[in-house]
């Protein structure tokens, strides 16, 4: 699954071999958020044949490996993707559940510890209100579940909400 269509989160879907681009995971169906696929900059880049897109998303699209998703989508028992938008319109996270244990791959819901502990602190390119709501919703759930949290740009950790304030503990 691809959390969102920012280049640093999808560049790895293809690999160059002898001058040609191939899917990195040729047997994988790639779950990509529909809302990100339709973002103006992504749609524009695809329409114009932008090299960064044709050599990555274009490769898996041509190979029939793209599945555009919206909402919560199950992958297998205990494994599913779910929207937590704001970083991008379709930003989604992955849940891996085993018994009572939970692990979340949250993409860019948090880039830094500061963003984890201060829900109002968000990057300039985000949809602020949507992202703040996603962060608050996520922190309360992950705290209750004592979940392991894996961000795209941080060391693993756990978030716990104490008296309404999120705290972060590296694992």
- Count of residues binding Zn ion (CB under 5 A)? 3
Task: Tell me how far, at minimum, the Cβ of 21 lies from Zn ion, in Å.
Answer: 22
- Kindly state the tokens that stand for 33: 């958020």
Do 97 and 140 touch, CB atoms closer than 8 A? no
Measured distance CA(92)–CA(84) in Å, rounded: 5
User: Which region among 44-52, 60-68, 123-131, 149-157 touches Zn ion (by CB under 5 A)?
Assistant: 149-157
Q: 32 or 163, CB closer to Zn ion?
A: 32
Measured distance CA(139)–CA(159) in Å, rounded: 6
Q: According to CB under 5 A, which one of 8, 16, 44, 114 is a site residue for Zn ion? A: 8
Q: 153 or 169, CB closer to Zn ion?
A: 153
**What is the Cα 112 distance to its own chain's centre?**
15
User: Which region among 33-41, 52-60, 65-73, 152-160 touches Zn ion (by CB under 5 A)?
Assistant: 152-160
User: For the stretch 67-78, what's the b/e string if a residue is b when 16 or more beta carbons lie within 10 angstroms of its beta carbon?
Assistant: eebeeeeeeeee
Task: Tell me how far, at minimum, the Cβ of 8 lies from Zn ion, in Å.
Answer: 4
When asked if residue 115 is in the footprint of Zn ion (CB under 5 A), the reply is no
Task: Tell me how far, at minimum, the Cβ of 66 lies from Zn ion, in Å.
Answer: 20
Its sign, for the CA torsion 108, 112, 118, 120, is negative
Task: Tell me how far, at minimum, the Cβ of 105 lies from Zn ion, in Å.
Answer: 12
User: Which region among 42-50, 73-81, 108-116, 139-147 touches Zn ion (by CB under 5 A)?
Assistant: 108-116
When asked if residue 108 is in the footprint of Zn ion (CB under 5 A), the reply is yes
Do 130 and 147 touch, CB atoms closer than 8 A? no
Q: 24 or 160, CB closer to Zn ion?
A: 24
Measured distance CA(21)–CA(138) in Å, rounded: 36
Q: Which residues bind Zn ion (CB under 5 A)?
A: 8, 108, 152
């Amino acid at each position: 699954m691809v959390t969102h269509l920012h280049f640093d989160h999808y560049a790895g879907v293809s690999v160059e071999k002898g001058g040609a681009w191939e899917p990195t995971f040729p047997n994988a169906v790639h779950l990509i958020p529909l809302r990100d696929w339709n973002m103006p900059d992504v749609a524009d880049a695809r329409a114009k044949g932008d090299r960064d897109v044709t050599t990555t998303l274009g490769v898996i699209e041509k190979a029939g490996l793209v599945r555009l998703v919206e909402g919560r989508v199950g992958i297998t028992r205990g494994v599913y993707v779910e929207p937590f938008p704001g970083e991008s319109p379709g930003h989604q996270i992955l849940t891996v559940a085993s018994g009572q244990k939970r692990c979340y791959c949250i993409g860019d819901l948090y880039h830094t510890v500061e963003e984890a502990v201060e829900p109002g602190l968000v990057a300039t390119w985000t949809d602020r209100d949507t992202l703040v709501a996603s962060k608050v919703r996520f922190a309360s759930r992950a705290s209750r579940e004592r979940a392991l949290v894996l961000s795209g740009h941080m060391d693993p950790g756990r978030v716990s909400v104490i008296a309404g304030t999120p705290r972060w503990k590296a694992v």
